[in-house]
A and B are shown apart, each in its own frame.
Chain A
Amino acid sequence: MRIELNGESREIDGEPLLARVLTEAGLPERGIAVAVDGEVVPRATWPQHRLADGARVEVLTAVQGG
């Protein structure tokens, strides 16, 4: 199956669990927030959160601003 991670299409092999996808993408564990299809997914539920085919995953962090 494929998902979209920060606007880039990604092939997912194996279990499409959010925590696993984030780790494999090399993302830091702290200081980030994740929305799937426009809804925030709380950190505590990342290990169980199963992504659907075509899910749009947005991962944000703090940058200089304001």
Chain B
Amino acid sequence: MSERADAPLTIGEEKFDSRLIMGTGGAANLEILERALSASGTELTTVALRRVDVAGGTGLLDLLRRLGIRVLPNTAGCRTAAEAVLTARMAREALETDLVKLEVVADERTLLPDPVELLDAAEQLVDDGFTVLPYTNDDPVLARRLEQAGCAAVMPLGSPIGTGLGIRNPHNIEMIVDGAGVPVVLDAGIGTASEAAQAMELGCDAVLLATAVTRAADPERMARAMRRGVEAGWDARHAGRIPRRYWAHASSPDREE
């Protein structure tokens, strides 16, 4: 789906002025994370759910509350629909949100989504009243099936999680955008700002990234670069780019002989 140029990003009932969703994974500590989140301008950030560590406490949630950033819990680490559904229900209970980034991966080596389990989990969670944002393969048919199941957005990967390989199949992303009636969020694989801009130029409504920022040598600076990349790509998409030409086309008037 490609929205009007000045419209906020709308996912389910939630509206966002920022089109960059930042993950919290990979930051060396909360201080670095805070600076990166602030520089990114993000209004929505992912968290994972794990066993509580009494010593660790809930410092991450306190930080996000203080920064006024909404929380998008994920189901990272789940391999089956049943695991993902239970994790999502735990997240809703812990974080008091219906939003869920649904992740059901097939194996540790690729971390690629398992389409069969993913669709099954999506259907169950939609029935249970969740606002479901599925992390999906860059497959236009699966994206369509997820939308038909009632997902509030579709989030195709650019390349596998954490690889920084960028968008390996831009044509598929364009086909997903063309077919989608819900927001398309490019999730996973972004390595640098030009790739975030490319995602938006392809027609995506938002970009979700974590590793590219949190594991950069200077996370705060990369977060700022990503914010600008997303904004630049969004503006370029809506500015109406010139057609590609085979031959040169002078931009200065002819000289008078």
Contact = CB atoms under 8 A, between A and B. Distances in A.
Contacts, number: 99
A66 B91 CA distance: 14
Nearest to B65: A31
Contacts of A34: 93
**Which residue among B24, B49, B52, B91 has the maximum number of chain A CB atoms within 10 Å of its CB?**
B52
Nearest to B94: A33
Contact of A28 (B58, B71, B74): B58
Given A31-B58, A31-B61, A32-B94, A65 B52 contact: no
A40 B89 CA distance: 7
B46 A65 contact: yes
A7 B50 CA distance: 12
Contact of A65 (B24, B86, B94, B95): B24
Contact of B86 (A26, A27, A40): A40
Contacts of B92: 33
A57 to B, nearest CB: 11
Contact of A58 (B51, B56, B91, B101): B51
A65 B58 contact: no
A30 to B, nearest CB: 7
Interface in B48-100: 48-52, 54, 56-58, 60-61, 71-74, 76, 86, 89-95
B52 A32 contact: yes
A6 interface: yes
Contacts of A61: 49-50, 52, 58, 61, 94
Q: Specify the main secondary structure of chain B where it touches its partner.
A: mixed
User: Which of A28, A38, A60 has the most chain B CB atoms inside 10 A of its CB?
Assistant: A60
Contacts of B61: 30-31, 61-62
B47 A65 contact: yes
B94 A63 contact: no
B52 A27 contact: yes
A59 B92 CA distance: 13
Nearest to A34: B93
Contact of B24 (A32, A33, A38, A64): A64
Given A60-B50, A61-B52, A66 B93 contact: no
B47 A26 contact: no
A65 B51 contact: no
Given A31-B94, A58-B90, 10 more contacts: A28-B57, A34-B93, A35-B90, A42-B93, A59-B52, A63-B47, A64-B25, A64-B33, A64-B48, A65-B24
Nearest 6 pairs between A and B by C-beta? A65-B48, A66-B46, A33-B94, A33-B93, A66-B74, A62-B47
